Chains A and B, each alone.
Chain A
Amino acid sequence: MTQKLSRRDMLKLAAASAAAVGAGLVPTIRIFAAPPGQDTVTLRFQENEEQYAKVVEAFKQQFPNVNIEFVNVTGVDHAEVASKILAQLAAGQPVNIGYAATEATQLYAGEGLALALDQRVMDNKDELAEYFADVSPVLVETDLYEGSLYQLPRDFNAANMYFNTALLKEAGLEVPGEEWTKDDFVEYAKAMTGIGEGKDSFGYGWTNRLWGSWTPWFFVNDTNFLSEEKAPGGEWLWENFYAGDPNAEGRGGGYRWPAPQANNPKMVETLEFVLSLTKDGYAPEATIGGGDLLQGFFTSGKLGMTPAGGFWSGGLINAGMNVGDFDVQFWPKWVSQRHQLGVGAAWILNGAENEDQAWEFVKFSSKKEVMEMIGFFGELTGTTPVRRSMNDEKRYSKSGPANWHVFYDTVDKRPDTGPIPAPVFSIEETNIYTRYTSSATSGEMSAQAALDAMQKDLEDLYARNA
């Protein structure tokens, strides 16, 4: 990449400048650069090198002529990471293997960037049977798009409720049972407000984003700001890998969110409830962006409860908390106890060279013994592994809450758990959602007004992408 400018490059530069000067800039762009003709194949892999060092080492023993080059992309949320990956595609430096969470799964699939894995999965049916048997169909379904599978899930996080046990204790409470309700929650929030070392704690806090924001609340109120339905198809997967699994019944070809419905009465009711927590003084004002602030408050004993998944546990230990300082439970019941979740996994660039090698790597990394090598699944849990068998006492012994089993029970015992709404144009959708959420939390708009405005922007968005 750092080679000297050759005459050909100069010509290219001249051509590019000319193209830039004319309005013809656009059509000269090709997405996929011609690969170098080499025997050794290099795969550009969107991951953190430290997390995958052992995996790559093991892979290279089996495939010595495949090089893995890491592309480490960071961002405050998955939508931001996705836009950076797309910008790299525009730069002609595509990744061969990307990593997408639910936020971007349909974006890559729907834009034709990700490779459908159906045929390859079926070709390796025997080998992969063990994998699917170990992974809940709830998780797999989120990686289907219009009947085809685009990713083999690696990790997931459903929004469960985290508790600061010191504040619980001070309030004279215990971690509630699985069946606790929204009303119980309010009592908990109230009791854990205004206590702690500085007598300034809040019972509950959340961050304004798509995942784990106030999203869990409208899930348990059995509604959504986009209508939700299932695409047809996917039988090939369910019949071949999940025959006889009761949790696989009624699954289809992936989620669809065909229309916005942000201002329906149940959404308004939900937002009003969430705002009332701040109004009553049980919750601080939610801010947009990273969860580090929330984590800081939680670890320093100023926050009683907050939505988070398995990915939080390792971070809390890293931040100085000890095992036992926090615990976790299902999200409280309202109309339902349906949880919202996000699933992360690798995807393969469609139409690029070396698809076969990329598939080998993806398949290789889905083996249990290989997944165990991933840094995120090390001593401190960086995120929840999708394999049921990897969610055990041992895994959470150093970074786990006592109720660590809640993480996987969320998909096994609450199989109606579903993905956060993230259609093809999820980046813009997320922006609209967080924008009007902040208008409401700041008190600038009433719940109704904010959701009306959200609905209007979403309608425009759908019209533009029709």
Chain B
Amino acid sequence: MATAVQNTAYKVNADVQRPRGWKGIKWTKWISLVFLTVMAIITLMPFVWVVSTSLRNSVQSFTVPPKWIPTDMDFSNYSRVFDEIPFWNQIGNSFIITLSVVVGQLVTASLAGYAFARLRFPGRNVLFTLVLATLMIPGQATIIPVFILISRGLHLNDTQWALIIPALATAFGTFLLRQYFKGIPDDYEEAALVEGANQWQIFTRIYLPLASPGMAILAVLTFNAKWNDYFSPLIFMNTKERFPITLGIVDLQGYMATGSISVVLAGIVLSTIPVIIIYILGQRYLVEGLMAGGLKG
């Protein structure tokens, strides 16, 4: 998939005529540069505050003027995170849940998206409309019946399955990938048929790679949504060791919220590090995938 993304991105970027150099810099460019810088400061400021506050004893968490540079380097808040929640367990749970859902959604949505875009079968439009209609049903609106089904029907309450199984089918992902598959010209398929490829091969070898930008978007969206999900774990999970890290962070606030702010912030920092690492590793594919964008012809 990675190679495919790069290839597509390369192809598409080759077509794009980027505005040239700094010659003829106009004042509008300076304005936009100032705008970008101000926005970057606004975006980054809370991060700096979180990190520097997490490195200070909470007795100093509200000093004014705010201290932006963590001079104290007090790591005790970080070690307390490990004392108070089973951090590695919870991070591991988050990974298991999130990756299962991402992989599952990529499989189900690419299959269904392809079928709705390129295969003809009776009832296709009715079924697709039905799938689209479910987009309008907010996940939280059905949480009570889903909760009953998961816990009493399947006996999966308080297991990772409770967070994985209901999330495997995705109307949004199906819709998204259908758009990508629809945007790919028919010529590819005709050429493949001439060369003797069967339907499965046409799907896996030709269309799937071409839809990889869409899959990258779906993967990132799903990863982000699932990793940061607070609502469903709140309802399904009871045992600390089985919590995903989002619940763990809230747990840090302690009994009647007697936890210290600095420890909560340290927990936020720690829980964000893995995602940042993943982002750095995957950034090239992610951004290129997103940049390759629509493939709208």
Contact residues of A with B, CB < 8 Å? 1-2, 5, 9, 12-13, 15-17, 20, 25, 29, 48-49, 70-74, 76-78, 84, 87-88, 90-93, 197-198, 200, 289-293, 295-297, 299-302, 311-312, 314-315, 318-321, 376, 382-383
Contact = CB atoms under 8 A, between A and B. Distances in A.
A13 B259 contact: no
B157 A12 contact: no
Interface in B250-286: 250-251, 253-262, 264
Given A93-B151, A296-B260, A315-B260, A76 B253 contact: yes
Contacts of B64: 198, 200
A197 B62 CA distance: 11
Contacts of B297: none
A1 B153 CA distance: 12
B259 A292 contact: yes
Nearest to A309: B256
Contacts of A320: 57-60, 260
Contacts of A311: 255-256, 258
B257 A92 contact: no
Contacts of A318: 80, 258-260
Interface stretch (B12-20, B28-36, B209-217, B232-240): B232-240
B158 interface: yes
A295 B258 CA distance: 7
A90 B147 contact: yes
B172 interface: no
B78 interface: no
Contacts of A5: 154
Contacts of A92: 151-152, 155, 157
B239 to A, nearest CB: 6
Contact of B261 (A15, A78, A296): A296
Nearest to B156: A1
B228 to A, nearest CB: 18
- Dominant secondary structure of chain B at its interface with chain A: helix
A88 B258 contact: no
Contact of A292 (B149, B238, B257): B257
B260 A12 contact: no
Interface in B69-98: 80
A295 B256 CA distance: 11
Contacts of A321: 59
Contacts, number: 142
B49 to A, nearest CB: 13
Nearest to A209: B256
17 contacts: A15-B153, A16-B148, A72-B238, A74-B247, A74-B251, A90-B151, A91-B151, A292-B258, A292-B260, A292-B261, A293-B261, A296-B61, A296-B261, A297-B62, A301-B59, A311-B256, A319-B261
Contacts of A299: 58-59, 61, 260
Given A74-B251, A320-B58, A382-B255, A25 B145 contact: yes
A297 B59 CA distance: 8
Interface in B198-255: 234-235, 238-240, 247, 250-251, 253-255
Nearest to A28: B152
A72 B89 CA distance: 15
B257 A319 contact: no
A74 B250 contact: yes
A181 to B, nearest CB: 28
Residue among B61, B148, B161 with the highest chain A CB neighbour number at 10 A? B148
A106 to B, nearest CB: 20
Residue among B60, B152, B234 with the highest chain A CB neighbour number at 10 A? B152
Closest 6 CB pairs of A and B: A290-B257, A16-B153, A91-B151, A315-B258, A320-B59, A319-B260
A297 B261 CA distance: 10
B101 to A, nearest CB: 17
B258 A17 contact: no
A463 B122 CA distance: 55
Contacts of B253: 76, 290, 292
A294 to B, nearest CB: 8
Contact of B155 (A1, A74, A302, A383): A1
A25 B142 CA distance: 13
Contacts of A198: 63-64
A292 B152 contact: no
A9 B155 contact: yes
A25 B148 CA distance: 9
Interface residues of B, number: 42
Given A13-B153, A300-B58, A300-B63, A20 B148 contact: yes
Contacts of B145: 20, 25
B159 interface: yes
A232 to B, nearest CB: 33
Contacts of B259: 292, 315, 318
Given A77-B256, A292-B258, A91 B147 contact: yes
A291 B239 contact: no
Contacts of B151: 90-93
A70 B86 CA distance: 14
Nearest to A290: B257
Nearest to A314: B258
B74 to A, nearest CB: 9
B65 to A, nearest CB: 9
B152 A296 contact: no
Given A9-B155, A319-B58, A382-B255, 20 more contacts: A12-B152, A16-B152, A25-B145, A29-B148, A71-B238, A74-B250, A76-B253, A200-B64, A290-B253, A291-B257, A291-B258, A292-B260, A292-B264, A295-B257, A296-B260, A299-B260, A311-B258, A318-B258, A318-B260, A320-B58
A87 B157 CA distance: 11
Contacts of A20: 145, 148-149
Contact of A300 (B59, B148, B247, B250): B59
A43 B155 CA distance: 18
Contacts of A293: 261
Nearest to B236: A91
Contacts of B234: 84
Contacts of A88: 157, 238
Nearest to B262: A319
Interface string B159-178: 10100000000000000000
A90 B148 contact: yes
Contacts of B250: 74
B64 to A, nearest CB: 5
Residue among A13, A16, A48, A376 with the highest chain B CB neighbour number at 10 A? A16
A167 to B, nearest CB: 13
B93 to A, nearest CB: 13
B31 to A, nearest CB: 37
